[in-house]
Structure 1
Amino acid sequence: MNNLPSLKNQIKSVTNFKELISTPFYNEINAMSWNRNLIGDFSEIINKVSVSENITELNTEQLLTLKLSKQGQLARNILINDLKLLKNYGTSPVLNIIKNYDKDDSYPYLPTDVYSFHVDRSPIATDTYLCTYFGEPSEIINNLEATQKILIPEIRTELKKLYDGSDNDFEAFLTEFFFDLHYQPKPDANIINLGNGNLWKLAIDHPESKVLPCIHRAPKEKKGEPRLLMIC
């Protein structure tokens, strides 16, 4: 993967789904957005579903069983169409109602849950797609405005206390337990809100990537306001 000298402009906007999937990441660009002003009541979808778990998955068949108002029907049509677009492209989109994710309290100095700024990794060439339809949107940060946590001396010292192997294998240990995927924003970092309704493509860490992976995180949910998120 190239170590790019600058990421002053990491986001590219596109105007349709075909452009989103066909435009490769390049230079400093590692996030692309199909900006949309969606019409419909997505909160009604959430309210009509019986939610008992922290994360509840919805599929097309379940969506079609819901009795909805006209605004709810508009929202449902968008969800079904987005699922179809992404499936036809060859991805496996998941539509979730999220009360909250599980938090990782195992290592207070380096939590590895999705609330921590992190990058995704894959052994094959692929991208992350996501859209927040309702609730707090996901967030990204410029790579130059974050520090890989395993490079922070205090955190690295704590991680070495967990490790009992040879010094030569310490980096492999950090990768095996995904510690190397997590980042800490710098004090003056600009955290970018991805907004509601926009369909995003984010670069991930894989062997064929020509750009830096996009650093992102799940937001803290508002109490009593679940998120409606599609991701793949």
Structure 2
Amino acid sequence: MHKKNSENNHFGIVSNFSELVNSKFHDTMNAICWERNLDGDFQEVVSKLQLKDNITEVYPEDLLALQLSERGHVAREIILNDLQMLSDFGALPSLNLLKNYERDEEFDFISTDVYSYHVDSSPVATSTFLCTYYGAASDILANDQALQKILIPEIREKLKELHIGSEDEFESFLIENSFDLHYQPKPDAQSVNLGSGHLWRLAVDHPGQEVLPCIHRAPKENNGEYRLLLIC
């Protein structure tokens, strides 16, 4: 985990899974990290998986079918255990082998893909869980270091030009197209990289949420390198 500034109070660090899922978000803290230094050869696991699309979901049976070295076996057991823990908790974890996500290039003034800083939204009380086992890792931002894009005057004016309908329907238009979920970092913003092997829990915008949702983005992939990512 790479911290670009020394006074991060928007995330907490815990030492086990129980603390990760039971700790409460509060005040400005809307991300929690189970900090881990994982053994095992995750690169070997990635090298033996088959990429079918730009994003390929990997199932436990796919992992179990791999012929691995001792260190590759250790890595596989860690992944399987993480999937089981999250499933037992009631989450729906997905393990993805990633070449890249689809880019949103429809407009030159606003992007709504996952490479743009954004928050997750849900109609039910939940959290986003993330762990990058191999490859580039995501970034998060403190909420006071970013601006909601729809509140930036020049972007808002261009969105109004796109909107076909009455002024009263404009806010609904922003929500329906997920424009309201995306953020622009301030010029002096200091991001935190989530690093490899750590299991993160991020606050989601939902009814009853007592903190602001966590602003995060997918990384630009390293050239010629796949990512192995657990997400739910």
Q: Tell me the TM-score range normalised by the shorter chain.
A: over 0.9
Other-structure match for 2:188 = 188
Other-structure match for 1:86 = 86
Other-structure match for 1:17 = 17
Alpha-carbon offset, residue 8 of structure 1: 5.9
Other-structure match for 1:131 = 131
- Once residues 53 and 8 of structure 2 are traced to their aligned partners in structure 1, the CA distance between those partners, rounded to angstroms, is 40
Q: Indicate yes or no: 2:66 matched with 1:56.
A: no
Alpha-carbon offset, residue 52 of structure 1: 3.2
- AA matched with 1:78: I
The count of residues paired between Structure 1 and Structure 2 equals 226
Give the alignment's Cα RMSD to 1 decimal: 1.0
Structure 1 residue runs of 4 or more that deviate by more than 4 Å after TM superposition? none
Other-structure match for 1:106 = 106
Is residue 138–residue 217 contact of structure 1 (8 Å, CA) maintained in 2? yes
- Once residues 84 and 140 of structure 1 are traced to their aligned partners in structure 2, the CA distance between those partners, rounded to angstroms, is 26
**After superposition, what is the alpha-carbon deviation per residue over 1:146-197, rounded to whole angstroms, capped at 9, x for unaligned?**
0000011111111111111111111111011100000000010001101100
- Once residues 108 and 69 of structure 2 are traced to their aligned partners in structure 1, the CA distance between those partners, rounded to angstroms, is 45
Other-structure match for 2:95 = 95
Q: Indicate yes or no: 2:203 matched with 1:209.
A: no
Other-structure match for 1:4 = none
Range with bigger deviation, 151-160 or 112-121: 151-160
Other-structure match for 1:68 = 68
Other-structure match for 2:3 = none
Is residue 118–residue 216 contact of structure 1 (8 Å, CA) maintained in 2? yes
User: How high is the TM-score relative to the length of structure 2?
Assistant: 0.96
Q: Indicate yes or no: 2:222 matched with 1:222.
A: yes
- AA matched with 1:43: Q
Range with bigger deviation, 164-173 or 65-74: 164-173
SS of structure 1 residue aligned to 2:57: strand
Is residue 140–residue 194 contact of structure 1 (8 Å, CA) maintained in 2? yes
User: How high is the TM-score relative to the length of structure 1?
Assistant: 0.96
- AA matched with 1:148: Q
Consecutive unaligned residues in structure 2, runs of 5 or more: 1-6
- Once residues 130 and 8 of structure 1 are traced to their aligned partners in structure 2, the CA distance between those partners, rounded to angstroms, is 19
Consecutive unaligned residues in structure 1, runs of 5 or more: 1-6
Alpha-carbon offset, residue 28 of structure 1: 1.4
Is residue 125–residue 209 contact of structure 1 (8 Å, CA) maintained in 2? yes
**After superposition, what is the alpha-carbon deviation per residue over 1:122-160, rounded to whole angstroms, capped at 9, x for unaligned?**
011110001001100111001000000001111111111
Alpha-carbon distance change, 196 to 8 in structure 1, aligned in 2, over 3 angstroms: closer
- Once residues 70 and 109 of structure 2 are traced to their aligned partners in structure 1, the CA distance between those partners, rounded to angstroms, is 48
Other-structure match for 2:147 = 147
Other-structure match for 1:3 = none
Alpha-carbon offset, residue 50 of structure 1: 1.7
- Once residues 201 and 52 of structure 1 are traced to their aligned partners in structure 2, the CA distance between those partners, rounded to angstroms, is 28
Range with bigger deviation, 50-59 or 87-96: 50-59
- Once residues 129 and 110 of structure 2 are traced to their aligned partners in structure 1, the CA distance between those partners, rounded to angstroms, is 26
Is residue 8–residue 28 contact of structure 1 (8 Å, CA) maintained in 2? no
SS of structure 2 residue aligned to 1:206: coil
